[in-house]
Chains A and B, each alone.
Chain A
């Protein structure tokens, strides 16, 4: 396509002419249709939206919000499940790092991405058929073992199956779900939603679930080596003990153990006055579950100051609404008992000191001790896991499994979830499972594991915010506190209806990604932007006619159009002079290089074909 040198005709190269033909002259217009105006060129180049970048599973959030905006819910659902097998779960329990990264927070309020995800997840659960089944290829004969059926294990099983592997999942307990079942209370994540999501994954076929099989007892480390690859995602399900006097009295229970009993629908009893020790999300969930199970007074005792609490802000607010009391900057010195049963505790003022390594140490203040009455003490100060069955060199002193940057521990054995990163989010484990499945696929195909290439994240400053009117975030409805504390199974946060989901998706600014808004098409003064469909289509720049005025770049609301210096358009080993330069394809939605002449030819060919068909039909009749 490129021609070295200008196409100046021979007769114009006479030395006495001395000048290049002006654009106004006939000869000049033969050289370049509108003269040589352009020194920057608009190019469609999609950037990474911050929400997508922040999501550990890499959900294509901009794309599914765009689908929901146009009420194409099925397409939106299929977009999510490419990355995340259980949107109905994460739509309820995710701590939404995407909303924290959303550029809209600098404009007014971040978009309720989690609520839209939940809407789509529920939409998927209500489908009569399981549409994921159509995306699954036949098995390729290789087998992958997954240890643990929490979010990490299920995600790895799901993605590995979608890549064609036969999967065996080992689960120590009688039901799948891991921490989603045994750590997240029913009022947060209803049991039937989790069951349906798990059933959809099992439904893919060639995923064998082995319940009541604990690795380390029923299956050994060496047994895992019979498989082509393995993924370890056992989580951390053993609550840490509080090393104080009285921690073995009756009435002292682990918060996590309490949540697990409740989660598996076993009968649990709590006293009237409950003390929850800990300052994280587990403490909050424990306290709120205790309220629902009949406790009259629940107090969270935390070393952290009020602004240091590691509880998600909305959960903290809901807990306070429900009547959970907080004693911050307070430590429990010892637990008092009578006849081996708890009847009180000694608290004192304290603060949390952090050293530079990130280790925390409680500092108690002498002489500030006081007694409180209580009949149950719940300990939620972190989790550990017993890893005796893992070979010695692969564990570290914190009780975690050591991995390389790709999540690999040894050969074809990968790990993910809480067991490599400590207590973290469900979505982190889902991301680890997806990464492990992709890496297992690479390793088994003999490919090298390489670091991901860096991406360009779209900053707020590069959006043209004049196009985005301020609109308040649509909050999901929440049950009133008095009603919701009465039942352990009553969901606190309710779902968007269709109108709310569409309205909230409409607030998306589509950061850095072309969403077919037609703005460039409208503003171009030289009619140099063409589109191939009436709406939401692909655009291309007619580089023969574009003058490089950059109005389209200035006015692009999403910032997916960029200006690129003409001098950057070179090809290897050959120079492309301006009048013969053509653009390269870049970006997923807008194409740059569709030659306009070709589009005409196609249209003419189509017209001819239809005419011919008519004529042929006419002949047939005669």
Chain B
């Protein structure tokens, strides 16, 4: 049985669409190759508050999905952080099986550096840590290098765009494309070309698929975990 849950953590309004695109494209691509798939946007966290933590979910399986009507992912094993400081913010591995979590972080820093922000109980669940510098790999918009360097004028425009009222309708643009590339390449469950068909900015997608750094945590720390008596789980529940 193949069953994967993707939780995308992002920040309200100013990075809302990027996270929605990541979840949408994975769910769409999985449906195209015959999986049962779902994508759910999140309204629990007050997503109309700028910079507030917001989640987007996708899940797909080769059998009908057991948790179809459960709103939030109970056992996420793929986690994407659209913004790097989320790595020290919350426990995004709640419910993840030990040693199965793939974490993709949009960051120009090395994965080894990001690792130190994870406490022990999250490291236990980590399988791979992927760092992708999506900001520089994305298609550059105008004079400002996309997302994190924006002036107040751009921010005001974002604030008007609450819940997609005023934004581009194309799916898979901006920093979402390289993030999707890195996620697809690092997990290896879906084929790159299949996901690429659902993404608007294909070049940025392939750039992300090629240029990311993977830290195989479960492999390198296996003996330590065994010594500690915590068995590495195989498949998710």
Q: Interface on A for B, CB 8 Å cutoff?
A: 4-6, 8, 13, 15-20, 22-24, 35-39, 547-549, 551, 554, 565-567, 570, 575-579
Residues B91 and A6 in contact, CB atoms below 8 Å apart? yes
CA distance A551 to B152 in the complex (A): 8
Which 10 A-B pairs give the minimum distances between C-beta atoms? A5-B119, A39-B85, A18-B74, A37-B51, A566-B85, A18-B95, A20-B90, A36-B89, A22-B45, A577-B88
Task: Pick the residue among A13, A551, A575 that contacts B88 (CB under 8 A).
Answer: A575
Residues A18 and B85 in contact, CB atoms below 8 Å apart? no
| Minimum CB–CB distance for A21 against chain B, Å | 9
Residues B45 and A23 in contact, CB atoms below 8 Å apart? yes
Q: Say whether, besides A551-B152, A567-B84, A578-B89, A24 and B119 are in contact (CB < 8 Å).
A: no
Residues of B near A22 (CB, < 8 A) are: 44-46
Within 8 A of A (CB), among B97-125: 107, 109, 114, 116-117, 119-121
B interface majority secondary structure = loop
Residues A578 and B95 in contact, CB atoms below 8 Å apart? no
Residue B200 at the chain A interface, CB threshold 8 Å: no
Residues B88 and A566 in contact, CB atoms below 8 Å apart? yes
| Minimum CB–CB distance for A494 against chain B, Å | 46
Residues of A near B94 (CB, < 8 A) are: 13, 15, 17-20
CA distance A551 to B159 in the complex (A): 14
Residues A578 and B51 in contact, CB atoms below 8 Å apart? no
- 13 A-B contact pairs sorted by A residue (CB < 8 Å): A15-B74, A17-B94, A19-B44, A20-B53, A22-B44, A36-B90, A37-B50, A37-B53, A39-B83, A554-B151, A577-B117, A578-B88, A579-B89
Residues of A near B127 (CB, < 8 A) are: none
Within 8 A of A (CB), among B138-172: 151-152
Q: Interface on B for A, CB 8 Å cutoff?
A: 11, 44-46, 49-53, 72-75, 83-92, 94-95, 107, 109, 114, 116-117, 119-121, 151-152
Q: Which of A18, A38, A577 has the most CB of B within 10 A?
A: A18
Residues of B near A554 (CB, < 8 A) are: 151-152
| Minimum CB–CB distance for B5 against chain A, Å | 10
| Minimum CB–CB distance for A467 against chain B, Å | 14
Q: Contacts A13-B121, A20-B90, A570-B116 known; list 4 others, CB within 8 Å.
A: A16-B74, A18-B72, A19-B44, A35-B46
Task: Pick the residue among B50, B53, B74, B119 that contacts A36 (CB under 8 A).
Answer: B53
With both beta carbons as reference points, the residue of chain B lying nearest to A579 in the complex is identified as B89
Residues of B near A551 (CB, < 8 A) are: 152
| Minimum CB–CB distance for A165 against chain B, Å | 49
Task: Pick the residue among B51, B75, B91, B116 that contacts A575 (CB under 8 A).
Answer: B116
Residues of B near A38 (CB, < 8 A) are: 51, 85
Residues A23 and B50 in contact, CB atoms below 8 Å apart? no
Residues of A near B72 (CB, < 8 A) are: 18-19
CA distance A234 to B199 in the complex (A): 76
CA distance A22 to B84 in the complex (A): 20
CA distance A82 to B192 in the complex (A): 67
CA distance A549 to B53 in the complex (A): 14
With both beta carbons as reference points, the residue of chain B lying nearest to A580 in the complex is identified as B88
Residues A567 and B51 in contact, CB atoms below 8 Å apart? no
Task: Pick the residue among A16, A20, A566, A576 that contacts B91 (CB under 8 A).
Answer: A20
